[in-house]
Structure 1
């Protein structure tokens, strides 16, 4: 594991998965493949882009302040 660089996405947790298929531009797929290669160098664990995508999306949603505010207001609203 390399400590010289730190990726925004940390080591991946083990989770239950549901299969989802989506299309993306070839340039994004190439970036995802490069990120997966950097991930493998950083953490010493080879993963492919399809393994990283759910964790990247989860991290993105968790840091979206507008989504969080809306989510909190929906939970606080009486049923």
Structure 2
């Protein structure tokens, strides 16, 4: 079985948000948590996977990371 992209869920100071997930996305999240539990031997709450999955997605999105490195030309980047 191939390795999962996520290897651990780190504890960090959380910021609470509320989201509605489509049922099929929730089922996949639950299945991912089950696969991770089998791989690591530790149970994982599916909701704890959302933040690391989003972080991993953003970290590997080349256009996003390139845009973050580029100097901002918006009004907040200039000081009077």
TM-score by shorter chain over 0.5: yes
Structure 2 stretches lacking a partner, 5+ long: none
Aligned residue-pair number: 76
Larger Rg: 2
After TM superposition, where is structure 1 displaced by more than 4 Å over at least 4 residues in a row? Answer: none
TM-score (norm 1): 0.84
Q: TM-score, normalised by structure 2?
A: 0.83
* Structure possessing the higher relative contact order (Cα contacts under 8 Å, 6 or more residues apart): 1
Query: For 1:37-62, what per-residue CA distance to the aligned partner results, in whole angstroms no more than 9, with x for missing partners?
Result: 00111111111210000000000000
